[in-house]
Amino acid sequence: MRELNDELRQSHDMLLEAFADALDLKDAEAAAHSKRVTAFTIAIARVMDLPAEDVEVIARGAFLHDVGKMAIPDSVLHKPGPLDPEESEAMQKHCELGYEIVRKIPFLKDAAEIVYAHQERWDGTGYPRGLKGEEIPLGARIVSVANALDSITSDQPYCTAQSYQAARAEIERWSG
């Protein structure tokens, strides 16, 4: 039984690696971003002293949070400047598209909810559903912070990387 469990876990890990490889083919920086967000997410969840099983689910959600971007046109995904309203609408679909991809896989059901809600905001101004406060799954809130941290501290097509101190100030400014 233990051997079967190990094989199943290995199959799960291989499936996640396949997702990463697919994302890497579409956008190598997006794949690296997902790995960094996952590392930040695990660190945050551990500091919060969450159970190991919860950390594992949240880490899977972090790793897959942008998988829906595979369906976003390259012209939008790699645009160096601000997105126009139509492009923003297309980009915002990545949460729902990712959810639709991930939710079909039984062992990723809980992670799919994180993929769906990682762009929601505490004040209800996020997307795609306008969830607010504790309506947003805890894992999605953690991934959102990790995502912001990585986005602020990494070079982007539309801005240069800022310091961790600047990222902390920005995250605190938008918290709660």
Mean pLDDT by 10 residues, the chain (176 residues): 80 82 76 90 98 96 93 89 93 97 93 98 95 97 96 83 93 85
**Single pTM value for the model:** 0.90
pLDDT of residue 26: 78
What was the pLDDT predicted at 93?
A: 97
List residues with catalytic annotation. 69
Distances (CA, A) of 27 to 19, 21, 32, 163: 12, 10, 9, 24
Cα distance between the two ends of the chain? 45
Q: Look at residues 28, 100, 114, 29 and name the one whose alpha carbon lies nearest to residue 63.
A: 114
Which pLDDT value is given to residue 24? Answer: 73
CB atoms within 10 A of CB 84: 11
φ/ψ of 159, rounded to 5, equals -165, 160
Q: What is the pLDDT of residue 109?
A: 94
Domains of the chain by start residue, with CATH: 27-174 (1.10.3210.10)
